[in-house]
Amino acid sequence: MGQMDGRVTLITGAARGQGRAHAVRLAEEGSDIVALDILADVDALTYRLATQADMDETGRLVRATGREIVTCRADVRSQADLDAAVVAGLDAFGHIDTVVINAGISGKKAPTWELDTETFERLLDINVLGAQRTIKAVVPTMIETGKGGAIVFINSNLGIKARPNLAAYSASKHALIGLMQSLAIELAPHSIRVNSVNPSGVGTELIFNEATYREFCPGVENPTLEDAIEGFKKLNLLPVPWVEPVDVANAVLFLASVQARYVTGVALPVDAGNLTRV
């Protein structure tokens, strides 16, 4: 018996990285999956986003657990895309009772007063409004089903503690805390629990890119991960440079499962002591 037997989980940003880890981990515990991703790049980002090949691999890994998956190309900036993905999931499985709001981007790093409006708007549109659009698409059917459920936001330690030169990203993640807690209050009468996982740096493409390495290695030409790894380690209390996607996925599994049946409105750090480090 798995902890998610009989469950159906919708996951945004599911084609690779953390989203893939959540899909596979929940499938291992018995959940069928509705996987959404934009499968295209977003202008002005310093790293590439997932491709159809990435989504195909997520599908393969989920099916290898013995569970089923529906994959959808969906941009969280589009309510129509999200509504269509929910319909596809309901057509395939009959219900959706678990949601992992994982899709999000980072952005240009600069002093707050130097950020252009477009950068701020892009982050809020994807990270915050994308989450709200997802909720708008899926929550009505969860309420109508009447069997409760769980919603987990994938947030960041920067939703709890800010860092300089990341105002737009930090503002978007702080906003998700408020959204999560408001939803926890609103959905409690329907036995739908709402929480977030707030990791430090996670070992995915979001940090594995040259732009990030340059932050830790000023003055180094063409810096590599090896050059930057000591800088990553300095962010955490435990002697590790980052947490792995599976570490976040295990926290998602806990919050989504009956093991956390009375846990709601909580921001759970999975951060190797990042928030505690002075």
Residue positions annotated with a catalytic role: 169
**Hey, what's the torsion of the CAs at 102, 266, 184, 27, to 10 degrees?**
40
Question: CA 278, CA 275: separation in Å to the nearest integer?
Answer: 8
**Which tokens belong to 145?**
């089903």
Greatest alpha-carbon pair distance for the chain in Å reads: 58
Task: Residue 183: name the closest of 125, 100, 264 by CA.
Answer: 264
Give the H or E element holding residue 34: strand 32-37
How far CA 80 is from CA of 74, 77, 86, 100, 133, in Å, comes to 9, 9, 10, 19, 9
Neighbours of 146 (CB within 10 A): 9
Cβ atoms of 171 and 124 closer than 8 Å: yes
**Which tokens belong to 67?**
């569970």
Cβ atoms of 252 and 197 closer than 8 Å: yes
